[in-house]
Chains A and B, each alone.
Chain A
């Protein structure tokens, strides 16, 4: 147990360092952007009419006259106080905006992760049990093609079939519709509609989990303890679900946790496809308008989600596998 706590603390430490370095990279790259915030904000206004002194004052007010490391420090300290800065284009504090958009994104990402776990595992177990039959080959073929298809095509296909052809779902989500509602009401109203974006989001991950589960279950089903259980007359269902799955699940769990990270990062594309007002779409908009504080905030939030998902993957793996020594 002491080993375990030590291991967790160590991993938390490296995760913190990783996040700090990632934030430095994001900040540094953003700093390479030609023109600073003041140029961005003034946009159309001619510089002469304002005069150099006004501009310098504005720079000073925003802290842009400071050296880069000082700016980074101020920004990083701000994050710990829950202050993500002010968006140039929206002229509003970023934190509430990002939190609301993150809520929308989680509304996609959580069902997507659940679908990945349910479909990925059950299809994987099914194809392992039915190894080398047409069922197995069918599932393998489908999951291989799922990996060769870009996610925007999956999403566009869903839109084409269910929106253009059948008219079941709207082709685009009206941002105002969603923003007014409470989280709970929104969930009820959009349950049917959210299905397709989240299914698209989970699509690739379902294939990965399915393949990993199939591979490890096939291995487990060949072991002696499984054969013993079968010969003892244990019900085949119990052999698979109680005996083999307990060990076969282990590699799958790591893949699942890792794919939660992929799902979080993958929302960017899906939100563009479905014109969904999540944090990914916010990031793309920030990039297009070169709104640096907004770019920084959205990127940090998405990257943190990804990094933490990987941390969980790591911890689960060592925790569940007694053969691995903490190091």
Chain B
């Protein structure tokens, strides 16, 4: 890169990131993984946004003459025990799962960035105490903690977001702190300290831009886990309450009727798997670009 030896401001670094993405695209660094991942994610986001407009039937409409039917021309994925169209329910269910998973990931990232960067910046005793607390939260099994929080506060989308966000925050904190420790000794941080900038300014305006690649990759990993956890919580009855179609709950409540038709159980499961694979491919692709050996570390040292 042309920036060797030139002191970088935040803006130039952000621009560099953007420019790099564009040049990488032409240099064939964008892998098929990334393209497929983006494609799958974009499809899910679009389905989520336009859900009520693209379903063949109303998701809650019960067709009493068509109970537990196998897929047919009029019901592409069949119907469930109340005669509701499975395809429509899977489409509308996209909303609940993706909303809970993505917002909780954002919450985890926000908390993780704040605690991780702060802990690394202050170092010493502050860092020590914060990491001890972090370790305790990490030693709590994720699923048990989610069940505890949602079970006590009551199942709803907001409580799901809170539970999953709090669970993943310590894991993000650890990753962000590790990366922040690498840059906290660099000259531009010292320069900012000498200039008399506030800690807040240094953490969020000087350190954060250099942490983004790590954070984005970590976020994509967390999103995959969050989708699986959201679905699992729905399965054990701790997702959004019933009238709302939820992938996990659909798989649970229809499983007693697998003798007649397995589709109401497997259709939402397939949707979950495709979404998770999409997120994982997206994450792998981003990792290849953002954290590739040689490109990122050299720039950070420059």
Task: Say whether A284 contacts B237, CB under 8 Å.
Answer: yes
Task: Say whether B148 contacts A299, CB under 8 Å.
Answer: yes
A32's nearest neighbour on chain B, judged by CB, is B152
Out of B139, B147, B238, B252, name the residue touching A22 (CB < 8 Å).
B139
- Interface bits A30-64 vs B (CB < 8 Å: 1, else 0): 10110000000000000000000000000000000
- Interface bits B243-254 vs A (CB < 8 Å: 1, else 0): 000001001100
Task: Say whether A310 contacts B147, CB under 8 Å.
Answer: no
Task: Say whether A302 contacts B144, CB under 8 Å.
Answer: yes
Out of B140, B262, B272, B277, name the residue touching A164 (CB < 8 Å).
B262
- Interface bits A150-184 vs B (CB < 8 Å: 1, else 0): 11110010011000100000000000000000000
Task: Say whether B235 contacts A164, CB under 8 Å.
Answer: no
Task: Say whether A306 contacts B141, CB under 8 Å.
Answer: yes
The reply to whether the CB of B265 lies closer than 8 angstroms to some CB of chain A is yes
Could you say which residues of chain B place their CB within 8 Å of the CB of A144?
280
Task: Say whether B144 contacts A152, CB under 8 Å.
Answer: no
**A306/B139 contact (C-beta < 8 A), A149-B273, A153-B273 known:** yes
The reply to whether the CB of B258 lies closer than 8 angstroms to some CB of chain A is yes
Give Cα A210–Cα B203 distance, bound, in whole angstroms. 39
Task: Say whether B280 contacts A265, CB under 8 Å.
Answer: no
Could you say which residues of chain A place their CB within 8 Å of the CB of B251?
152-153, 156
**A268/B147 contact (C-beta < 8 A), A32-B152, A284-B237 known:** yes
Could you say which residues of chain B place their CB within 8 Å of the CB of A18?
135-136, 139
**A148/B148 contact (C-beta < 8 A), A18-B136, A164-B259 known:** no
The reply to whether the CB of A261 lies closer than 8 angstroms to some CB of chain B is yes
The reply to whether the CB of A108 lies closer than 8 angstroms to some CB of chain B is no
User: Which residues, 295 to 316 on A, are CB-close (under 8 Å) to B?
Assistant: 295, 299, 302-303, 306-307, 310
The reply to whether the CB of B149 lies closer than 8 angstroms to some CB of chain A is yes
Task: Say whether B139 contacts A148, CB under 8 Å.
Answer: no
Shortest distance from the beta carbon of A18 to any chain B beta carbon, whole Å? 5
B137's nearest neighbour on chain A, judged by CB, is A25
Task: Say whether B232 contacts A151, CB under 8 Å.
Answer: yes
How many B residues have CB within 8 A of the partner chain?
37
**A284/B236 contact (C-beta < 8 A), A150-B269, A152-B248, A299-B144 known:** yes
**A21/B136 contact (C-beta < 8 A), A148-B273, A284-B236 known:** yes
B138's nearest neighbour on chain A, judged by CB, is A310
The reply to whether the CB of B153 lies closer than 8 angstroms to some CB of chain A is yes
- Interface bits A243-277 vs B (CB < 8 Å: 1, else 0): 00000000000000000011011101100110000
Could you say which residues of chain A place their CB within 8 Å of the CB of B144?
265, 268, 283, 299, 302-303, 306
Could you say which residues of chain A place their CB within 8 Å of the CB of B237?
284, 288
Give Cα A287–Cα B236 distance, bound, in whole angstroms. 11
Shortest distance from the beta carbon of B126 to any chain A beta carbon, whole Å? 19
Q: Is the interface of A mostly helix, strand, loop or mixed?
A: helix
The reply to whether the CB of B276 lies closer than 8 angstroms to some CB of chain A is yes
**A265/B142 contact (C-beta < 8 A), A18-B136, A29-B149 known:** yes
Could you say which residues of chain A place their CB within 8 Å of the CB of B136?
18, 21-22
The reply to whether the CB of B186 lies closer than 8 angstroms to some CB of chain A is no
The reply to whether the CB of B241 lies closer than 8 angstroms to some CB of chain A is no
**A287/B143 contact (C-beta < 8 A), A153-B269, A160-B258 known:** no
The reply to whether the CB of B228 lies closer than 8 angstroms to some CB of chain A is yes
Could you say which residues of chain A place their CB within 8 Å of the CB of B135?
18
The reply to whether the CB of B66 lies closer than 8 angstroms to some CB of chain A is no
Give Cα A303–Cα B139 distance, bound, in whole angstroms. 8
Task: Say whether A150 contacts B272, CB under 8 Å.
Answer: yes
Task: Say whether B151 contacts A310, CB under 8 Å.
Answer: no
B231's nearest neighbour on chain A, judged by CB, is A150
Task: Say whether A287 contacts B140, CB under 8 Å.
Answer: no
Out of A160, A268, A295, name the residue touching B236 (CB < 8 Å).
A268
Shortest distance from the beta carbon of B221 to any chain A beta carbon, whole Å? 11
A266's nearest neighbour on chain B, judged by CB, is B143
Shortest distance from the beta carbon of B143 to any chain A beta carbon, whole Å? 5
Task: Say whether A272 contacts B236, CB under 8 Å.
Answer: yes
- 14 interchain pairs, CB-CB under 8 A: A18-B139, A21-B136, A25-B140, A30-B152, A144-B280, A147-B280, A150-B248, A150-B269, A150-B273, A159-B258, A164-B262, A264-B141, A266-B143, A299-B147
Besides A25-B140, A150-B269, A164-B259, 11 more A-B contacts (Cβ < 8 Å) are: A26-B148, A33-B152, A145-B273, A148-B224, A150-B235, A153-B269, A262-B141, A269-B232, A284-B236, A284-B237, A299-B147
In the A-B complex, the 6 residue pairs with the smallest Cβ-Cβ separation, listed nearest first, are A265-B141, A287-B151, A153-B269, A306-B141, A148-B276, A152-B235
